[in-house]
Amino acid sequence: MARQTDMNKENAHAANIKEPTKRITRARAKALGIYGDLPPLHPRLKHEFDQFLQPSSKRGSSDNKSTDVGSNFQSKRRAVLKDVSSMPFNDLNMKIINDIKIQTSKQLRTNVVGKNAMVASAVFVGPRSCKGKMKETEDVTEQSIKELREITSQLKLVNDLESKPSVALESSLLKETKISNKVEAGNDQNVIDIDSKHKDPRMCSLYASELFNSLRVAELKWRPSVNYMKTVQRDITQEMRGILIDWLVEVCEEYRLGAETFHLTVTLIDRYLSKVYIEKQRLQLLGITCMLIASKYEDIIAPRVEDFCFITDGTYTKKEVLVMEREVLDVLGFYLSVPTVNKFLKRFILAAQSSYEAPVVELEYLAKYVADLTLVEYGFLKFLPSLVAASAVYLAKWTLDQTENPWNPTLEHYTKYKASELKTTVLAMQDMQLNNQATLQAMRQKYRQKQFKSVATLTSKKPVQPLS
């Protein structure tokens, strides 16, 4: 009885409910008029959120607070149900879908009727009793079917080209490239492809030819002046430059710097001396500064500034080296990616080794030795780095074997030089190679070591031939 009395009180209270409680019974749900859908547990938060979304709306009077909460929820829910966009499949959507289906079926029927009419007009010729006319009818039907197939295939091809124009264009370009490659390979069968067999990604075999064509252009732009000793410098001489570079050979050996570091150092020195006058007291400072810059650019672990100060026996301080480094980079415009003899030499040696069954180590070291000797001599600045590299390969091959012509179509193809164009450079190199009485011996002593196969001791007293 007590429980029944409590339920009756709750039902009586539910008829005039002002704020829903958390406990919902069927009687209360019926009183609210929303049977099957329960009100939110926190209507107060929802009310505050609605006020936050509508900040400009005025607050209701205190009389409106007594409004029935259940009726508010019911009106809002009805407004949502009236919104068509919230229902994925209502009567309006089904009507649109049915209209589309009817329209599509009508179009299909029209197309079928049209095709049947065309076929009927093509098939109907006369009475069936005539065999000749029946044969003509079959021929016309087959012909019309073939024409329809051809038209269909053409339309399909056009659609494919419109949908994938880049693929079609790419395939056509690939076919043209293959044809051009075959034609180019067929023009000269004596040229050996030195890039196709390379698996080392550092050799950049896919675009090596484009890279070296770019280097050939850059060597003309960034080459130093060939007569700066007369036009710019007045306090230093060619001999002083040679002594500096010969000493830098020993510095490279001391700190185990790479060959490209040494070549870039000499190039930076010549480029700076081509633009700025320098006194002979600061020439050694320029040398160690350019080697510092080159080692930072080429080597993995560059020597410290203190190391270069120590190698000069404390002649220059760290501050002087840093100031000189700033000045050199400012004069050169921070452009350090310049083609050197060593960059061309690597590729030309690879082309020379292609004519042998196995790589000849002496050929590589001898070509590098002759090319490094030219860095000490001021007179070789008038030759381009690519010409010096090609001439070094020619002289190295001639020194090792005088029985055959050292130049072949493969070397001519990759160096872009004919044998006649190397005559002056090769003869000057051979004179320098045979000059064992030279005062500057650091380079020669380096290549007399066994690790370089003692190539500095190899000479050919017979003049190079043929070079005409």
Q: Which residues contact 314 (CB under 8 A, 6 or more apart)?
A: none
Q: What is the pLDDT along the chain (468 residues), one digit of tens a residue?
A: 555 565 566 555 545 544 444 556 666 666 665 444 455 544 444 444 455 445 444 444 444 444 444 444 444 444 444 444 444 445 555 555 566 556 655 555 555 445 444 444 444 444 444 444 444 445 545 665 666 566 555 545 444 544 444 444 344 433 443 333 333 433 455 888 887 766 667 667 777 788 888 888 999 988 999 999 999 999 999 999 999 999 999 999 999 999 999 999 999 999 999 999 999 999 999 999 999 999 999 998 899 999 999 999 889 999 999 999 999 999 999 998 899 999 999 899 999 998 888 888 999 999 999 999 999 999 999 999 999 999 999 999 999 988 888 899 999 999 999 999 999 999 999 999 888 777 888 999 999 999 999 999 988 777 887 665
- Rounded to the nearest 5 degrees, what angle is found at the Cα of 110, between the Cα atoms of 107 and 111? 90
pLDDT reported for residue 177: 36
Cβ proximity of 76 and 37 under 8 Å: no
Half-sphere exposure of 377 (CA within 13 A, CB side): 18
Distance in angstroms (rounded) separating the CA atoms of residues 417 and 430: 19
Q: Which of 262, 257, 250, 314 is nearest to 285 (CA)?
A: 314
Cβ proximity of 212 and 347 under 8 Å: yes
Q: Which of 305, 306, 309, 292 is nearest to 257 (CA)?
A: 292
Local structure of residue 39 (DSSP, 8 states) = P
pLDDT reported for residue 25: 65
Distance in angstroms (rounded) separating the CA atoms of residues 454 and 262: 20
| Phi, psi torsion values for 356, nearest 5 degrees | -105, 150
pLDDT reported for residue 59: 47
Q: Which residues contact 303 (CB under 8 A, 6 or more apart)?
A: 255, 257, 292, 295
pLDDT reported for residue 195: 78
Distance in angstroms (rounded) separating the CA atoms of residues 387 and 371: 10
pTM summary value: 0.60
Distance in angstroms (rounded) separating the CA atoms of residues 292 and 313: 16
Place of tokens 């289906």: 101
- Rounded to the nearest 5 degrees, what angle is found at the Cα of 356, between the Cα atoms of 463 and 372? 50
pLDDT reported for residue 52: 46
Q: Which residues contact 249 (CB under 8 A, 6 or more apart)?
A: 262, 372, 442, 443, 446
Distance in angstroms (rounded) separating the CA atoms of residues 343 and 371: 11
Collapse the DSSP code of 347 into the 3-class scheme (helix H, G, I; strand E, B; otherwise coil) and give the result: helix
- Structure token pair of residue 73: 């929820």
Q: What is the DSSP string of 205-221?
A: TTSHHHHHHHHHHHHHH
Cβ proximity of 249 and 280 under 8 Å: no
Half-sphere exposure of 89 (CA within 13 A, CB side): 1
